[in-house]
Amino acid sequence: MNIKKHIPNSITLLNLFCGCIAMVFVSNQDFEIAFFFVFLGIFFDFFDGFFARLFKVTGELGLQLDSLADMVTSGVVPGSVMYYLLLNSQHDISNCSYIPFLGFVITMGSCYRLAFFNIDTRQTDSFIGLPTPANSLFMLSLPLVIKYSDSLFILELLTSQWVLLLITAFSAYILNAEIPLFSLKIKKFTLKDNLLQIVFLTLSFLLLVFFQYAGVPMVIIAYVLLSVVNNRFSLDGKTK
């Protein structure tokens, strides 16, 4: 029995396990613990592919399993978070009890992206549209920004139904938008080939240090903006 070939899929299942635990904490509106388990699940999601390439055991099963695990950790969980944010929001649109369910538009957008990703041959070295893990971290950070922010403007902004529904709609859009985004995978160990990644990681570190949870959505926004700039000016040194 070749144990190596089962290691990547086992790591993928740990991602799914973390997503299931996060879902329990989200249902109890314990968003901080949920954020931790989503982050841990995304950590496993990053390394399942790494070990699959390392052990040369990539295959169709791993690809499908990865998307199914992501559907929970980076699909159902962020949609549920938005459901509770809308449930607890200021009812500046309507008191309709069905509005919070629109948060699951994020889940549907994530599902469509994950399915399309599996059949899109363009997304091997980079991404088209925002990856679901990045979107998930963005959504999981919102209730923590609300909890720890001292800014009345931020609090009013992130508890407004209008704003939350706009975030929901934009999330579903950016997940599936035809916008090329760079990958954090390091394949060549040279400064020139990884300059964009180094700039992004350095910026991310600084944002998280100075802004903590509020830095998480800033990091995701910076990722998209850097990708757009890279597409325009080829910061990674590649010919577009």
Provide the pLDDT for residue 74: 96
Provide the pLDDT for residue 1: 52
Confidence tier at 62 by pLDDT (50, 70, 90): confident
By CB atoms closer than 10 A (0-12, 13-18, 19+), residue 63 is: middle
What is each CA distance from 97 to 22, 84, 89, 105, 158, in whole angstroms?
A: 24, 12, 12, 16, 19
| 236 three-class SS | coil
Pick 215 or 126 by higher pLDDT. 215
- Residue 239 pLDDT greater than 50, yes or no: no
Tokens of 150: 């001292």
Count helices and strands (H / E) in the chain: 10, 2
pTM given for the model = 0.88
Identify the helix (H) or strand (E) that includes residue 181: strand 180-181
Q: Which distant-in-sequence residues (6+ apart) come within 8 Å of 149 by Cβ?
A: 155, 214
Percentage of the residues of the chain whose pLDDT score is greater than 70 = 89
Provide the pLDDT for residue 240: 42
- Bridge partners of residue 160, in order along the sequence: 90
Pick 159 or 233 by higher pLDDT. 159
- Residue 13 pLDDT greater than 60, yes or no: yes
Dihedral of the CA atoms 199, 200, 203, 209 (nearest 10)? -130
In this predicted model, what pLDDT tens digit does every residue of 91-133 receive, in sequence order? 777 777 899 999 999 999 999 999 988 887 776 667 899 999 9
Q: Which distant-in-sequence residues (6+ apart) come within 8 Å of 189 by Cβ?
A: none
3-state secondary structure 41-62: HHHHHHHHHHHHHHCCCCCHHH
